[in-house]
Amino acid sequence: MRTVRLARGAVRIVGALAAAATVRPGSAGAQSRAPAGWSAFTAAFDAYAREDGVVGGRVTVLSNGRVLAEHAYGVGDRDRGTAPDARSVYHWASITKTLTAIAIMQLRDRGRLTLDDPITRYVPELRQVHDTFGSMDDVTLRMLLSHSAGFQNPTWPYREGRPWEPFEPTRWEQLVAMMPYQELAFAPGSRFGYSNPAFIYLARVVEALTGDPWAVYVQKNIWTPLGMTRSFVGTSPYLLADLRAASYTVHADSGRTHTDANPREFDPGITIPNSGWNAPIGDLVTYVAFLTHADGGDSAVSRRYDGVLRHATLEEMWRPIVPLALGKSLDEAFGLSFYLYRRGGTTVVGHTGEQSGFRSFVYFDPGTTTAVIGVLNTTNEARPDSSSRGWDGLTHRAVALVAQ
């Protein structure tokens, strides 16, 4: 039986929400099993949330696929006055990219492609993009997976906040129409440059080789085999609609701030393969158990994990390819769709996400299987620079928690 530590306590709303949470202690056994820095991390989690005007959030620490402790901050839904609980369906945004990468590696292991294949073999439309460094035929799948292909960061680069603008492009032909008016930002393979559309192009590879839409392929080949029955993209299934988590955005207007609720249901459009995953934290726990091969000594579970993707292939994905900062060491690097942070003799693996008011992270140590999963339901657009610095600080604390 797992012991859970949850926040409870009063919440005060004054203007923009100012939420405070206290932790309900678990048993002494749960205290001793959680990482030594857990209490300090949850205090930092709360401090960031208060400073940034976050309505609510939740963080979970686990090892060997088992939850050790959980902590909740603030309110999950202002209208209902409910806590950000474990049953809520959160939006995990760019953590979705790791699913797309696993799909590509599955097809590689089955002999359907190689990582050195040119992306234009599967997405010939990309030959329209301007490449002043050479030929677009030299851009490989490996480069896209490692964010080193030179493609732009945003999928929709023309946003000005007008009411008629879509949340994201909704159709493939919209992306194709933009290609003749885009260019590679740097020589492919030369450095790291985060790119959302790169993973849409990778999804097109999956669809071209299998005949399945990306979401159908992922459902059949990742979520269903792993038992992740509450994961989905797009509009909520009827039985999960009431569990869809609320999210919020802090805006500035004439020197004052206000916190607005975002639509619960929204259309990520063509960007689903890079940011469309919705799920409760429990499905993320299952996913991390697979990534860390936490089979509990059960040979049937081990075979199921390997049937999805061999652990040796996952370890290949966690080898550094490009440093995150130009000219720096590989102590902070990117592999095949995963961030890698070397801390002493430990390499922490993970990814973050941010979309439609949600911010999230997943980090784990493949050696010890210790992992931390966190999600916040608010982004602060009133002071984006300081908000981003605070978020970066929090995620680096999460890395440190796992690495200790």
What is the tens place of the pLDDT at every residue in 306-333? 999 999 999 999 999 999 999 999 999 9
In a domain, 111, yes or no: no
Q: In the chain, how many domains are there? A: 1
Residues 171-182 pLDDT 10s: 999 999 999 999
In a domain, 49, yes or no: yes
19/228 Cα distance (integer angstroms): 32
In a domain, 78, yes or no: yes
In a domain, 217, yes or no: no
Residues 45-86 pLDDT 10s: 999 999 999 999 999 999 999 999 999 999 999 999 999 999
Residues 366-375 pLDDT 10s: 999 999 999 9
Mean of the pLDDT values across residues 350-378?
A: 97
pLDDT > 80? residue 21: no
In a domain, 15, yes or no: yes
Residues 6+ apart with CB under 8 A from 149: 119, 139, 140, 143, 184, 188, 189, 193, 195, 198
In a domain, 379, yes or no: yes
CATH of the domain at 290: 3.40.710
In a domain, 261, yes or no: no
Give me 374's structure tokens: 């966190």
In a domain, 119, yes or no: no
Rounded alpha-carbon distances, angstroms, from residue 285 to 3, 200, 279, 325, 349: 15, 25, 11, 30, 15
Residues 6+ apart with CB under 8 A from 180: 128, 129, 130
Q: Which domain holds residue 314?
A: 7-89+279-403
Cross-strand bridge partners of residue 164 = none
User: Running DSSP on this structure, what letter comes out for residue 372?
Assistant: E
